[in-house]
Amino acid sequence: MNGITHLEMYQFVSLMLLGLGLFGLVRRRSLVGMLISVELMLNGAGLSIVASGQLTPASAAMGQLATLFVMGLAAAEVALILAIIIVVSRRFGHIESNNLRTMRG
């Protein structure tokens, strides 16, 4: 086969999601923007796990289960970080990460 395989396409897309998430994490100033960037990175990791799991029929279900575990961790992370963002917003009046030097208010 001369072209790229489906696995290579999926891995490329997951690498692009990871790169976009990393770029957004470094460039964003808002805590919500940073949270979205981390979610992009986790989605890229989940896509990579599922794509790699499809290599053999025996590991396909394990790849999907691992991705469900990653998605569950991401959901728990979102709930925790959104609660922290609400507390920071109420305490400091803003959610810009550059202005948060210390957690003492």
Provide the number of structural domains found in the chain: 1
105 assigned to some structural domain? no
Facing residues of 96 across strands? 30
63 assigned to some structural domain? yes
Q: Which residues of the chain have pLDDT under 70?
A: 1-3, 97-105
Predicted TM-score (pTM) of the model is 0.79
1 assigned to some structural domain? no
Report how far residue 65's alpha carbon sits from residue 99's, in angstroms, rounded to the nearest whole number: 40
User: Domain range holding 86?
Assistant: 6-99
104 assigned to some structural domain? no
pLDDT tens digits along 29-45: 888 888 899 999 999 99
Phi/psi for 104 (5° steps) reads -85, 135
pLDDT of residue 99: 66
Amino acid at 83: A
- The domain that holds 48 is classified in CATH as 1.10.287.3510
62 assigned to some structural domain? yes
